[in-house]
Structure 1
């Protein structure tokens, strides 16, 4: 059964990320921000925080899958699950990186700008193929690609937790499902209170596991009918984390987790909103997230080459780039991700 809350959140978050990057990296941005400094300035500065939505959703869906395996007493095959997740994430990612490199090279032939870079070397490409670009500290070939590597790391950690819970039988005190929840919550607490406060860890899963783990807790609460007390737990934990160190992104993390916990209750209402285009945007959100940077870099070169300067021309170029990015994401989804 589809979850309309997830569809809506993915659609909104992916489009905000596209606008955020267009405002950060394209020559159309200054003219538009001068016209609407409040709204567009806020998205340019704070839009990156919506990635927290994807992290919570990823934890929610991963828990749904792994708890289902534990319910049926099926073996948690670590390598098989990791490989499946890797290929699901990496196939559209590889295509998007190839497109970004090609469009960057073509754009550089039309007009140079600050985001145009040289063709990548073999080591840089190889690091991206295996989603190791941040760990080995090579320059990213597209904006936001760190998320793909982190998603894979987070899933691998959760799979290992499920395997451990199954093998130990919850230390003979808990069911494997409860053991998985306990491990995930413990790591979430450590992440929110300690690791997430140091940005030097942001290439590793433990920095982001607070958001991911809250997604895990949200799914467990929904399926076990423990929404009320888990809601208090999440609010209390985030309150402590924010008291220790204020981080605006954690507010969005908490709101997302609370919405997902109650998604079954609000399904009839949210499903009315998510019919048609919103559901479609939710389906293609990952592909749009991957492909839009290359489109934006090429569009920037075209805008510079054409010498566009007026507000009307910049607005049209911005909107056209946005539309083409969504269309390219749709093609990537149907051609690669969905297959």
Structure 2
């Protein structure tokens, strides 16, 4: 099963879990997570299931757009990730708490990896069961020990082994990005302690993160050969850091001008549509406190629930899609009504399975 990077989550996280415990929920983040995660599920169902050609023939414009462009919602999760990690690190630096790199990294690794391991096991099992029903392009052989170990330690792209599920590369990238920003936080704290206080640690972190983000947007992000490493994606992540700082310090206008200016330069050097979504997300997050009471009217009950389980839904849905494809082929479904029912059922089962994974593993 060869899954192209451009077709999977290039986007989160599913949604990925938050990087810090928040005392007050940000409804804008919840809404963005729900939107992006559900688009990713639909995107993958359109790419990897036999229901897709029939449905796209009926609604070619809408579904064709999601199938091709849906990968861009990864930018939403990248910006959110930077925003939330910055929130945690800036709080540490402001309170003078030590930025302990290894404990923070280990905690993040386990938080990402535990539901990821379960989802990979489910994908392998469902793929094997699906092969007993009907073989299709997404069915692959049982993984080797090397392949499994690479996934266990989130090194699958770095060591160039075949992915066991759609979008698993993003989990590894999220961990890399988190590690890089934590290291920058540690370095900022050292600079603040050893510079006769000519620069505050929080300001040092902002400058380092912005410098790396600019380098990413203007240089590294223009070469897809770097897309297994954090620096390729740090432009969006760094804008999330800037968005949090601007909101925190009441510099909304100044932060917005900086984001628009950097993106304008990056786009003038090389046009990348995904950066438009990056900028829109960063600007929404900068203004999230101002629009909280309005967005909160939308983010109630089911929407908030979908936001909570979005990472688990992202992790688990591909295995279900592979198995559902085998069932559809074995039953020889072909009509529009049958394919639509199979598509919606697979989508609903993905959400339900994500809820089980969230409550059984991720939340614990």
Give TM class, smaller chain: over 0.9
Q: Name 1:324's counterpart in structure 2.
A: 349
SS at match of 1:137: coil
TM-fit CA distance, 1:216 = 0.5
Q: Is it true that 1:232 corresponds to 2:292 in the alignment? A: no
Q: Name 2:308's counterpart in structure 1.
A: 283
1:297 & 1:322 partners in 2: Cα distance? 12
1:6 & 1:230 partners in 2: Cα distance? 18
TM-fit CA distance, 1:173 = 2.4
Q: Name 1:185's counterpart in structure 2.
A: 210
2:236 & 2:258 partners in 1: Cα distance? 14
Q: Name 1:73's counterpart in structure 2.
A: 96
Q: Name 1:338's counterpart in structure 2.
A: 363
Instruction: Quote the RMSD (CA, aligned, Å).
Output: 0.6
TM-fit CA distance, 1:84 = 0.3
Q: Is it true that 1:268 corresponds to 2:293 in the alignment? A: yes
SS at match of 2:346: helix
Q: Name 1:53's counterpart in structure 2.
A: 76
Q: Name 1:36's counterpart in structure 2.
A: 59
Q: Is it true that 1:174 corresponds to 2:176 in the alignment? A: no
Q: Name 2:28's counterpart in structure 1.
A: 5
Stretches of structure 1 that go unaligned for 5 or more consecutive residues are none
Match of 2:139 among 90, 94, 116: 116
TM-fit CA distance, 1:302 = 0.3
1:17 & 1:158 partners in 2: Cα distance? 26
Please list, as runs of the form range in 1=range in 2, the aligned pairs for 1:213-224 lying within 5 A after superposition.
213-224=238-249
Q: Name 2:123's counterpart in structure 1.
A: 100
SS at match of 1:265: helix
Q: Residue deviations 1:62-110, cap 9 Å, x none?
A: 0000111111101100000000000000000000000000000000110
2:268 & 2:318 partners in 1: Cα distance? 36
TM-fit CA distance, 1:236 = 0.8
1:38 & 1:218 partners in 2: Cα distance? 34
2:275 & 2:177 partners in 1: Cα distance? 18
Q: Name 2:280's counterpart in structure 1.
A: 255
Q: Is it true that 1:126 corresponds to 2:126 in the alignment? A: no
Q: TM-score, normalised by structure 2?
A: 0.93
Deviation larger for 195-204 or 173-182: 173-182
Q: Is it true that 1:151 corresponds to 2:174 in the alignment? A: yes
Q: TM-score, normalised by structure 1?
A: 0.99
Stretches of structure 2 that go unaligned for 5 or more consecutive residues are 1-23
TM-fit CA distance, 1:168 = 1.4
Match of 2:339 among 298, 305, 314: 314
Q: Residue deviations 1:183-211, cap 9 Å, x none?
A: 00000000000000000000000000000
Q: Name 2:41's counterpart in structure 1.
A: 18
2:97 & 2:161 partners in 1: Cα distance? 39
SS at match of 2:288: coil
TM-fit CA distance, 1:40 = 0.2
